Every structure is written in structure tokens, then in C-alpha cells.
Structure 1
Amino acid sequence: MRRSNCAGAMQYIPELTWILFLRIFDEQETHEAQQIKATGKPYPFSIPSPYRWQDWGNPTGSKRLELQLSSVGAFFRFVNEELIPYLKALKNQPDVTSRQRVISQIVSSIDTVKIDTEENLIEILDKVHEIRYENVDKTHIFPISQVYEGLLLKMGEKSNDGGQFFTPREIVRAMVRATQPQNGETVYDPSCGTGGFLAESYAFICQNRDRHLHQDLEPIKNTFYGREKENLIYPIALANLVLHGLDEPHLWHGNTLTRQGIYEDLFQDAPHRFDIILTNPPFGGKEGKEVQSRFAFKTSSTQVLFLQDILNSLKPGGRCGIVLDEGVLFRTSEAAFLQTKQRLLQECDLWCIVSLPEGVFANAGTTLKTNLLFFTKGKPTEQIWYYDLSYLKVSKKNLLSLEDFEDFFKRLPTKSIGSHSWTISREEIEAKNFDLKAVNPHQEVTPKVRSREELLALLKVKNRDLSELLQDFKRLMC
């Protein structure tokens, strides 16, 4: 693809997305048709011949062979003038199914293929055709969904041209684990990007469901909802969720803050409020007065408007995990920042704030200091448990890992105090004029390790927690 006018990830990933999706989707429906065949019932394929992958993408497909034996350019003309327009128009059929709507949206941003020659396109199709679920040994190599996520990560690794849509998966997994979504609960992301929070929540619920009760996965699949604004990213999110097993994703295409939709059909029958909200809203965005008019507290800050939207969208008793830049926590000079935090503490129990290291979102093109906030709607905040990971050194090459959250998860059930964790009361927060950026009270008690001699001295301290020793060792190595 790099030699075919797709030099950057933001060029080749959208192109690869619809091709890979059609390949895997056709295999999935073929498998389903074989299962139904035993019942004697016909299987309603979402895509008819000659537009199924096995017809034109398969090297031995009847349509492929016909086109390759035809005149030069026939294959290109079929793909650009017949296949893509047909797939994009599936959503307009009178008896359209949810799957057909998804297919239509995944190719919605494709007008013509970007590959420069028929020879290159056919070579790409042949390589993609080799990818089959039955060839993927999950005990030795990554399943297809994880490989695809690796591709998505590439969008932010060069020139920061797409990282803003991809939250590092270790942070996603930590947030999902902290909020503990359960079977039957609705999960929502108002700025879903490539769909990582929804995919990981689905995986978490599947892994923790009561298998001995033979719980059906189909009802679980219908409890995930998201919104995405960007035309290029929306199809990628749909494909990502399908590859993760959510084959009928409920994603709304449009501006979350204005509620102006571009494509809303997949979001039909969505609830107005949700049990779980997991999200990483855009950093540093500015909104005009038209957008601000929908909110009680007026500000141009995208993050603060998203936080207000989340408070409106969360059910009583619902839980939220959100990534916010540190400016939202300590800024009190603007009324909307102060009022939104006051509302958060009055309507919700803000039970945890995790201070992340600088550089966590380097792939997204920002060095802003960020935090994870976790809260439950329904009762006011009395006390906040802080956990500090800011001492870790992270970068594009040295990413934050789930192991870095080990002590956090160990202490989370009881919210115990340690060298990197402490609590602050509602009274202290109000005395600070709702500045939520707490200072680590243990900072002087537990100084940074700067030499081997200091580490050896710390090892001699009796009753010292092993996890704290390990974290001090990590700081020394950095």
C-alpha cells in the first residue's frame, strides 16, 4: 500500500479497513450459512453475488476470473463503479438489515480505491484473502482483532496524524477493570474514536460472565453504544467493533455536543441514559456559542462541555471513567469549570482520581498532564481517593503498562493509603475552592530514588511494602 499512494497510516488504514472487513465478514456469514444449512432453511446473505468477497476478492472467484480475463482496467472499473456504489447504497434498501447498514457505513468514506494500479490492488486482495480465522492460532499469535488494533495504533506513531483517536489500550483496560461493567448494563462512549472502550468492555463482560449458566452472547452485544464525529474514523470504529465480535454496533455518526447527526440509524432505540460511561474526550478543543447554548454552564472548553454531557447521560447509580487533562482539575478562574466541578461533587461520588505520568498521550500529539476520574452518580462526594502514577517515566517507546497499575488495583477495593495513594475530604476540596488537584502528602516522606545506595538503604527499612519497593526500583531504572 505504501507504494500505491498510501504512504501514511491515515491513508492506508481506511483503505485496508473496508477490504479486511469484507474478507472477514464474508467468512463469518459463510460459516453461519453452513450451520443453518442443516436445518434446511435458506440463509439471507447480507451481500448478494457478485458483490460477495468470494466472488471478486477470492483469487478463484467467478467474478474475479471473469474480470481478469477481460480488458485492461475492467477490475478497477468493477470495484469503483459497481462494487463500492452498491455497498454504499445498501442502507437505502426498503428491507435493510442492521448488518447491511453497518456495511454501508464502513464503506461510506470510500469513493474510489486509492491503490494506483490493478496489479497492486490484486496483490493486496490476495494477501488479505490469506487471513482466515481458522488459520489464527490464539495460543501463539494475536487474533485478528488485536492485529487490527496494532494497525490503528500506527495512525498516531508518525506525524501525530491519528493518535488523537486512539487511547492507549493499557489505559483503556485499566479503566474498564476499575469500573467493572456487568452483563446487562449499557456501556456508552460519547467520543468513541476507534471504539476501544466499547470493544474492551465487551471482552471484559464476556470473560467474566457466568459460563456455567450458558449465557447467550447476543443480548450482551446489544448493550454497547457510542458516538463519533469524524467522517474518516467512524467507519474504522464500526469495523473494529465487528472484528471484536460486536457485529451490529450501535454507533451514531455526528457531533455529540450539538446532537447534529450525519447517520443515526444504527443508534435507533438507544436509551437516553446509560449504566456505564467510559470515554476520553478531545483535549484542548474550542466550541462556539451555538454549541455552548445546550449547556447550563457556558464555556468554550470541549472537555468541560463533555463532562456536563456525561453528567446528563449517566443513570442514577451509573458509573463513569473519564480521561481529563489536569487543567480541568485545578482551574477555578472560569465560572463554568468551577460550576461543573461543583455539580460533579454534588450529584456524584467522585471516588477516585489517578494522576497519570506526562507523555502518556505523546502519540496523540500532546504532552498535557492527564488524570483518570471515576465516579458514581446518585450521592454527593464525601472523600476522594487519589493514586499517583506521575513519577513514572513514559514515552512513545516506553509506554505505560498494565503492570504499572498493579499496586493501584491491589489497594482499590479498600482504597488504602500508601506512598502513592492518599485521601482528601469534601471539606478540604471546598476550602481549596473546588481545586481537585491534590498535592501528594507523602512527597517528602518518600523521596525519589536517585542512586543505588539510596535503593539499598530503602531495602533495609523494616515492614516496607514490596510493591512500593518495586515502584522505587522502576524510578531508579528510569
Structure 2
Amino acid sequence: MTTAETRRLVARLWNYCDVLRDDGVSTIDYVEQLTFLLFLKMAHERANRKLNPDKSLKGVAARWQLLLDTDGDDLEVAYRHVLEDLGKQPGTLGVIFRKAQNKIQDPAKLKRLIVDLIDKEKWSNQGVDIKGDAYEELLAKGAEDIKAGAGQYFTPRALTSAMVDCIRPTPDDTICDPACGTGGFLLAAYDHIIREYSRELNPDQRAQLASGGISGVELVDGTARLAAMNMLLHGIGKPSGPSLIRVGDALAEPPASYPSVVLANPPFGKKSSITVIAEEGGKANREDIEYARRDFWVTTKNKQLNFVQHIASMLGMPGRAAVVVPDNVLFEGGAGETVRRRLLQQFDVHTLLRLPTGIFYAGGVKANVLFFDKKHARPDTPWTSKLWVYDFRGDQHFTLKQKRLKRDHLEDFVKCYQAGDIENRIETDRFKPFTYDELLARDKVNLDITLVTDPGLDNADSFLPPDVIAQEIVEDLEAALGEFAAIAESLQRAKKERNVSE
């Protein structure tokens, strides 16, 4: 829960971002630099505490002291060497500092960040909630910087909270997100378990939660380091231990473990240049990178369909999953139809939440949450008996600034979901069941089902408020401009790096 102390920490650290922005340091770059420096500071505190000092962090702690003792151009050189050295280390160290670079070129401003803003705080003495919430607030602010492309890794907290409240993870679950971004789903699951079971947790369960029961995979180095730090600040994992965030492409190989809970918002976007080769084979262009996934149902370049197949494959038995998917997963023919047929046959696909637009940082995204369970096989009978569809789209309109999605907006869905008692659900105007036979009778097993229509489409005299329409237009334009700005920024950065290397 956000406290005055949390707000104070965030304000102090965030205000300095405006100073660095004039030097070309983007919001997400600033958060990344904070990640490096906070880790070093915390390692220094833990290695030098009077009671039970962590001797394994002595080497890392010495690097923080080196930065404190160095000034001017020597500081920039020392910092660069620290990042390079730590990036070669195994475990959590390697994940946080992998391919790390110094983006703060002014030694005076770097010194101020180290001494005045970070060293004066005792991060290891702060409560986990305070420092964890402060870092979460920084990540949320970073996600608002659309020009930096940060929003693509951030799922609205209101949505993650509602999904977790429906899935209801327990201390005995193993939880994984194969496209974890900054770790929002993993932390929401952890918070739920602590909130609901803190008095009942035994030492083994606490150890499992902190060191392996919750894990994630992230393709992008910079985002993976944010996730690893986010988890550390919430008490999950150890600075000197193995990382609970694996850096890599989750689709590249079959799962090595089978968690009982999967929560994910796989990346949206156009078709991948990578084709996954499924069990039945399939041809790919020679210039494509091929993945040999014999556990997949069908070969496709659609990465959203591939993530659905991957999650279906990795889910333990019994297991339950909640996955954000774009509309095309629900209606696309060919491979999409095959995936839907297999999913309905082999899994209990029991709930579909239709999400409104305007809640994601990528403009114009139309998405849904698909809930399904994995149970013991019964070849002669499909596992899905009823798919309950909750339509929260047709008459709902949100924006990122003027009308943000809040947890209260999803309360009716969570109540209708009836976690733990889905057999006794009650039908409403928004929430209706469709039998397995009804779903298969639909063209291409199309699950793109609308229950509530926008009144503005049926009545010419009924329109959205002008300010809502204007805001939606503005945000769509900002998102498009942000994409171009991000491309231009990356090209300029690449040019600068080329000039420096020459």
C-alpha cells in the first residue's frame, strides 16, 4: 500500500529524471540506471551490517564504495568498468547487469545521483512494502513514457490484480510468467499469497516462495533486469543467488518445468519473423529462424498463437492459466482455428473476459483474458463444457489520463467469476455461457463473441461525451507519434555509438 514514505522516495528520485532528460536520458533509461545503483547500494548495506553481514556480497559492496570515493571523469570510467565486470557474473548479478551501459555521461550529475539521492537512504532498513512500492511507482511512471517504448512491458495493475484474484494462487503453487516484463503478475501473485496465507505459511513454504516458487522469462535484457530488481525489492530471491528471471526467448525450446499457475500478457504486435515448427512439420522460408517445438499443435508465425500453445504445453497438471490475448487469437482462421479446437478439447476453457480499449499503453489494442485449466486427459470427452463470456467492452470507454481503469471497475467481473465455485455461476446481461457444441458450430470456432453493444452505434442521438472522444483520438495519435519517436531515438543512439566506436 502506498505510504507517505513511499511517495517521498519516489518524488526524490523522480524529480531528478527531469534534470537528466535534458541530457538525453529517457525515462526508462533513468529507471534502469537507478536499478544498477540501488543494487550496489543495497549490496553495500547488507555486506556491512552489524548483525549477520552477507559475506557473499563483499565484492559487490566494494564497488559501491569505489563509486563513492571517485570523482570527475574517473567516476564515469569506474562506473563503466563496474557495469562490465558485474555483467559477466552468474545468477541474479548477471541478469541485472547483463549488457549494462552507463547512460549518464555527465560525471557531476552521476555523482549527485549516487551520493545525494541514493546513498543517503538506507534501503535495506526500509520495509519491503516501502521500497518495493517505491520501485513499482517508478516502473509505472516509466511505463507512462510512451516515447521510450516502456509501456509495452507494463500491464495495468487493476487488471493484474483482478486476474490474480480469480486464479487465487496458494503457497503450494508454482507460478510462472513466460513473458514477464517487469514482473507485475509475479508480484501480484506473491502479494496475494502473503495477504491470504501469511499466518499459515510454514518455513518450507516461505523458502519456496522466496527462492523458486515464483519465476519468469523475459526476452529483453533491460526489462529482465527491472523484473529481477523488482522481485528482490519485494523479498523474492537473493542478490547473491540464482536469478528467478531467465533472460531468453520462452518460445525457443520446450518447457523445462511445469508450473501449476501461469499468468501472462504475451507481447502483442505483428507476425513474428520466426516460425515455430510443430509436430506435424511445416515449411518455413530459409531466411526464417526455425524453432523445433514438437509439443506444439500447429506451425505459425503468429507469436500470440505460439504463446498460447507454449502456455498450454508448460502448464502443470492440475494447472490453471490466465492469459491476455488480442482479438485475432479468438477469430483468426487456419492455425488460429486449430489452436482453439485443440484448446477447447484438451483444456477446460471456462472463462473469457472481453477488455475495453484505452487501458494499455499501446494505442488501439483490443484484448481479452482467457482463463483455462489443465486436467487429466480424457480422450473421448472434451474438457470444455461451457465457456462463460463476460463482455466489459461494448459500452465501456477508458483513457490513460482522464479515465484510467481501476480495480473497482473489474469488481463485478471478479464476483461473477466466482473463484472456487464456478459451477454455480449466475447469468447476467454481461455474463453468459456457451456450450462446447455451440462454440464448435460457430464459423472457424470463432470465440470473438459480443454481448453488450455500444449504445452510440445503435442510436444516432447517443454519442460518447466529446471529451472522451477527443482524448481517445489524442492518445491514439500520441501512441503513433511515440512509435516514430522511439525509432528516431534508437537510430540517433546507434549513430552516436557508431561515432564513439570509430
The residue that corresponds to 1:383 in the other structure is 386
**Would you say 1:36 and 2:52 are equivalent positions?**
yes
Question: Contact 1:350–1:376 (CA<8 Å) still a contact in 2?
Answer: yes
**Would you say 1:327 and 2:337 are equivalent positions?**
no
Structure 1 residue 284: deviation in Å? 2.3
CA distance in 2, matches of 1:344, 1:146: 37
* Cα offsets for 1:237-288 (capped at 9, x unmatched): 111111121124422211111239xxxxxxxxx9521100110011124233
The alignment's TM-score, normalised by the length of structure 1, stands at 0.77
Question: Contact 1:224–1:250 (CA<8 Å) still a contact in 2?
Answer: yes
Structure-2 change in CA distance of 1:2 and 1:56 (3 Å):
farther
Q: Secondary structure at the match of 1:427?
A: helix
Structure 1 residue 7: deviation in Å? 3.4
Q: How does 1:253-268 map to 2 (within 5 A)?
A: 253-259=247-253
Structure-2 change in CA distance of 1:29 and 1:200 (3 Å):
farther
* Cα offsets for 1:178-208 (capped at 9, x unmatched): 1111112111111111111111111111222
Tell me which amino acid in the other structure corresponds to 1:236: L
The residue that corresponds to 2:10 in the other structure is none
Structure 1 residue 210: deviation in Å? 5.0
Report the aligned-residue RMSD: 2.7
Tell me which amino acid in the other structure corresponds to 2:367: T
CA distance in 2, matches of 1:134, 1:274: 31
Structure 1 residue 349: deviation in Å? 0.7
CA distance in 1, matches of 2:354, 2:27: 31
Question: Contact 2:44–2:60 (CA<8 Å) still a contact in 1?
Answer: no
Q: How does 1:18-37 map to 2 (within 5 A)?
A: 18-31=36-49, 34-36=50-52
The residue that corresponds to 1:275 in the other structure is 260
Q: Structure 1, unaligned stretches of length 5 or more?
A: 38-42, 58-63, 92-100, 261-269, 452-478
CA distance in 1, matches of 2:142, 2:125: 26
Out of 293-302 and 428-437, give the one that drifted further.
293-302
The residue that corresponds to 1:357 in the other structure is 356
Structure-2 change in CA distance of 1:247 and 1:213 (3 Å):
closer
Tell me which amino acid in the other structure corresponds to 1:253: V
CA distance in 1, matches of 2:215, 2:125: 31
Question: Contact 2:84–2:100 (CA<8 Å) still a contact in 1?
Answer: no
CA distance in 1, matches of 2:329, 2:408: 27
Q: How does 1:307-322 map to 2 (within 5 A)?
A: 307-322=308-323
Q: How does 1:348-427 map to 2 (within 5 A)?
A: 348-361=347-360, 363=361, 365-378=362-375, 380-390=383-393, 391-397=395-401, 398-413=403-418, 414-427=424-437
* Cα offsets for 1:327-361 (capped at 9, x unmatched): 21122xx3210010011101111111111111121
CA distance in 1, matches of 2:104, 2:201: 49
Question: Contact 2:209–2:236 (CA<8 Å) still a contact in 1?
Answer: no
More helix by share: 2
Q: Secondary structure at the match of 1:424?
A: strand
Question: Contact 2:47–2:55 (CA<8 Å) still a contact in 1?
Answer: no
Q: How does 1:39-50 map to 2 (within 5 A)?
A: 43-48=54-59
Question: Contact 2:46–2:57 (CA<8 Å) still a contact in 1?
Answer: no
CA distance in 1, matches of 2:89, 2:312: 36
Given candidates 179, 190, 194, the residue that maps to 2:182 is: 194
Structure-2 change in CA distance of 1:134 and 1:257 (3 Å):
closer
Tell me which amino acid in the other structure corresponds to 2:261: I
Structure 1 residue 303: deviation in Å? 0.4
The residue that corresponds to 1:96 in the other structure is none
Alignment identity in percent? 27
CA distance in 1, matches of 2:391, 2:353: 6
* Cα offsets for 1:38-65 (capped at 9, x unmatched): xxxxx42323276253x245xxxxxx34
Bigger relative CO (Cα 8 Å, ≥ 6 apart): 2
CA distance in 2, matches of 1:309, 1:430: 23
Given candidates 440, 447, 451, the residue that maps to 2:451 is: 440
The residue that corresponds to 2:3 in the other structure is none
**Would you say 1:339 and 2:338 are equivalent positions?**
yes
Tell me which amino acid in the other structure corresponds to 1:349: D
Structure 1 residue 134: deviation in Å? 7.4
Given candidates 102, 111, 117, the residue that maps to 1:122 is: 111
CA distance in 2, matches of 1:110, 1:134: 23
CA distance in 1, matches of 2:449, 2:93: 48
Structure-2 change in CA distance of 1:30 and 1:410 (3 Å):
farther
* Cα offsets for 1:298-341 (capped at 9, x unmatched): 2211100111111110112100000001121122xx32100100
Structure-2 change in CA distance of 1:219 and 1:292 (3 Å):
closer
* Cα offsets for 1:365-409 (capped at 9, x unmatched): 231211111110126100011112112211111221110111122
Q: Structure 2, unaligned stretches of length 5 or more?
A: 1-16, 276-288, 376-381, 419-423, 463-502
Question: Contact 1:2–1:8 (CA<8 Å) still a contact in 2?
Answer: no
The residue that corresponds to 2:9 in the other structure is none
* Cα offsets for 1:199-252 (capped at 9, x unmatched): 111111122225155545222222112111112212111111111211244222
Question: Contact 2:359–2:404 (CA<8 Å) still a contact in 1?
Answer: yes
The residue that corresponds to 1:150 in the other structure is 137
Structure-2 change in CA distance of 1:73 and 1:393 (3 Å):
same
How many pairs align?
Answer: 403
**Would you say 1:80 and 2:84 are equivalent positions?**
no
Question: Contact 2:44–2:57 (CA<8 Å) still a contact in 1?
Answer: no
CA distance in 2, matches of 1:164, 1:25: 30
Structure 1 residue 137: deviation in Å? 7.4
CA distance in 1, matches of 2:201, 2:109: 50
The alignment's TM-score, normalised by the length of structure 2, stands at 0.74
CA distance in 1, matches of 2:417, 2:191: 22
Question: Contact 2:43–2:61 (CA<8 Å) still a contact in 1?
Answer: no
Question: Contact 2:253–2:291 (CA<8 Å) still a contact in 1?
Answer: no
Greater radius of gyration (CA): 1
The residue that corresponds to 2:207 in the other structure is 218
Tell me which amino acid in the other structure corresponds to 2:74: A
